A = this chain, B = another copy of it.
Amino acid sequence: MLIGKVVGSVVSTRKCDSLVGNKFMIIEPLDEMKKSGARLVAVDKIGAGIGEVVLVSTGSAARVGTGMSDAPVDAAIVGIIDEGIGLE
């Protein structure tokens, strides 16, 4: 998993049926957790707001582990970070 900040969201009207009803948030990974500086889009399973620091799962975990096995989801917000040791 990675930790990042929610920095935005996107709207898509024309999309796969299995995605209807989901919120798509833009995640900026923390500097020490970002791979090649890339932001990503994650489905919000928790109700996170812009500016919150969140835990993001990627790959099949984001789909199968959140009850969306049949949706084309490869990243999901799965927790909101309250505090941490070792975050720079």
Chain A residues near B (Cβ < 8 Å):
1-3, 7-16, 18-19, 24, 26, 29, 32-43, 45-47, 50, 55, 57-66, 68-76, 78-87
12 A-B interface contacts by CB (under 8 A): A1-B41, A9-B85, A10-B81, A10-B82, A10-B83, A16-B66, A32-B37, A32-B39, A34-B36, A59-B60, A60-B60, A62-B74
Query: Cβ of B79 and Cβ of A57 under 8 Å apart?
Result: no
Q: Are B84 and A11 in contact (CB under 8 A)?
A: yes
A57 to B34, CA, bound (A): 18
Given contacts A11-B82, A79-B12, A80-B14, are A1 and B73 in contact (CB under 8 A)?
Answer: yes
Once A12-B79, A78-B19 are accepted as A-B contacts, the answer to whether A41 and B2 lie under 8 Å apart by CB is yes
